[in-house]
Amino acid sequence: MIDIKFLRENPEAVKQNIKNKFQDEKLPLVDEVIELDKQNRAYILEGDELRASRNKLSKQIGALMGQGKREEAEAVKAQVNANAARLAELEKLEAECSEKIRGIMMRIPNIIDPSVPIGKDDSQNVEITRYGEPKVPDFEIPYHTDILEALDGIDLDSARRVAGNGFYYLTGDIARLHSAVLTYARDFMIDRGFTYCVPPFMIRSNVVTGVMSFAEMDAMMYKIEGEDLYLIGTSEHSMIGRYIDQILPETQLPLTLTSYSPCFRKEKGAHGIEERGIYRIHQFEKQEMIVICKPEDSMTWFDRLWQNTVDLFRSLDIPVRTLECCSGDLADLKVKSLDVEAWSPRQKKYFEVGSCSNLGDAQARRLKIRIKGEGRTYLPHTLNNTVVAPPRMLIAFIENNLNEDGSVNIPEVLRPYMGGKSKITK
């Protein structure tokens, strides 16, 4: 959510930003907010004048009563009462108008960074850099679920009977590999100076609307029936929500956190053939990284965050590339975003395994997170990035480490987490 003062002073810049995100249907919202804001400020001004008048008239009543001018005092009292009734009406109108403004402002997209390429959708994202040499083996690589089933590592049929599509059982060494990757990612981030956290896996609605757009909320979140609670889609939600309505001392910045959680997502929409199996599912686990920092430091942290993911995948000898997300592919709260994609030898192309986002002060503004510095109080910037999400990461892992006999090599850095094993065999 942008600053209403910025919108008031720069309406054309806000409209151009909406056009850059190809959301022209939202253009009328800017003028609507400007009119409501003008009306609201008129309510506030009239209310302030009535309060000042009330204080002045109250003094007059005391003076008139002291002079024995009871009738004149009663007339002034009647004016005070009339003013009080109007003031109560104005306060109600101001509250209603403020709520309307907030609702509309939450639909207007954040101002994107000037470095973001302009494009309509993810097909126009821009490749930045490749890391590692993509390889395609001499033998045919089966679909990932076929590899896992051959290793007795997955049971999709039982999961469908128990929970429906979009779920799975992992078993044996594959289940152990899943946990090993998460534990390795945790230690990897701790070694880089991040504080490890395990957050709540459910959050209230005011936190949900504080950390994401309405469109994301509708597409992703599962609501707990009869409760003001939602299952988290990523631990970023509850990690940022931790600081709701707080004023933090500047000396605490930057807050650098890495968190583990299960994640629950509706995953609305049709799924293509490459999204079968464990590519796009309703429940998975993830290691995340979150930073809360000074506004002037956020772009430096943005680059550090995505580099962490690249370094982790390269430590496992998985080739990756980075993609700059174009304007039309950015969620409404994001200022800038970069995807990390891993190489798929079977598909002979890259696919997304992580996303790094700078949200500017949007989440802090919505959640009322403030920083107390020397002589000023300000909104911090918030950033998040995927360290690793094993379902997709497992696909990249097994494809890039598969042998012709169906076994899967374990890179040296993961062996301590796998009981010393160097290979998973049938």
Q: What is the pLDDT of residue 146?
A: 94
DSSP character for 113? P
CA 70 to chain centre: 64
Q: Is the pLDDT of residue 64 over 90?
A: no
Average pLDDT of the segment spanning 316-324: 97
Instruction: Give the residues across from 385 on adjacent strands.
Output: 289, 356
Q: Exposed, middle or buried, 282 (CB in 10 Å: 0-12/13-18/19+)?
A: middle
Cβ neighbours, 10 Å, residue 270: 5
Q: Exposed, middle or buried, 351 (CB in 10 Å: 0-12/13-18/19+)?
A: middle
Q: What is the pLDDT of residue 75?
A: 74
Planar angle of CA 10, 11, 13, nearest 5 degrees: 70
Give all domains of the chain, ordered by start, each with its CATH number. Answer: 4-105 (1.10.287.40), 122-424 (3.30.930.10)
The model's pTM is 0.89
Q: What is the pLDDT of residue 56?
A: 73
pLDDT band at 270 (very low <50, low <70, confident <90, very high): very low
CA dist 232 and 129 (Å) reads 32
Distances (CA, A) of 191 to 195, 236, 260: 9, 20, 16
pLDDT band at 202 (very low <50, low <70, confident <90, very high): very high
Residue 254: is the preceding peptide bond cis (ω within 30°)?
yes
Residue type, 133: E
Q: What is the pLDDT of residue 273?
A: 43
The answer to whether the beta carbons of residues 186 and 258 sit under 8 Å apart is yes
CA dist 126 and 118 (Å) reads 10
Q: Is the pLDDT of residue 81 over 80?
A: no
Q: Is the pLDDT of residue 110 over 80?
A: yes
**Least confident residue range of 55-59, 195-199, 301-305, 311-315:** 55-59
**Does 392 or 59 have the greater pLDDT score?**
392
Residue type, 24: D
pLDDT band at 277 (very low <50, low <70, confident <90, very high): confident
The mean of the pLDDT values for the chain is: 91
Average pLDDT of the segment spanning 148-154: 95
Q: Is the pLDDT of residue 310 over 70?
A: yes
CA dist 16 and 31 (Å) reads 13
Share of the chain above pLDDT 70, in %: 94
Q: What is the SS3 assignment for 408? A: strand
Distances (CA, A) of 386 to 33, 84, 160, 285, 323: 35, 55, 28, 11, 14
CA dist 120 and 262 (Å) reads 32
pLDDT band at 258 (very low <50, low <70, confident <90, very high): very high
Average pLDDT of the segment spanning 415-419: 96
Taking each helix axis from N to C end, the angle separating 70-105 and 27-66, rounded to the nearest 10 degrees, works out to 160
Distances (CA, A) of 217 to 111, 225, 264, 331: 20, 16, 12, 11
The answer to whether the beta carbons of residues 61 and 73 sit under 8 Å apart is yes
Q: Exposed, middle or buried, 184 (CB in 10 Å: 0-12/13-18/19+)?
A: buried
**If residue 105 lies in a helix (H) or strand (E), which one and from where to where?**
helix 70-105
Q: Give the tens place of pLDDT for each residue, 3-17.
A: 999 999 999 999 999
Average pLDDT of the segment spanning 84-105: 90
CA 278, 282, 287, 292 torsion-angle sign: positive
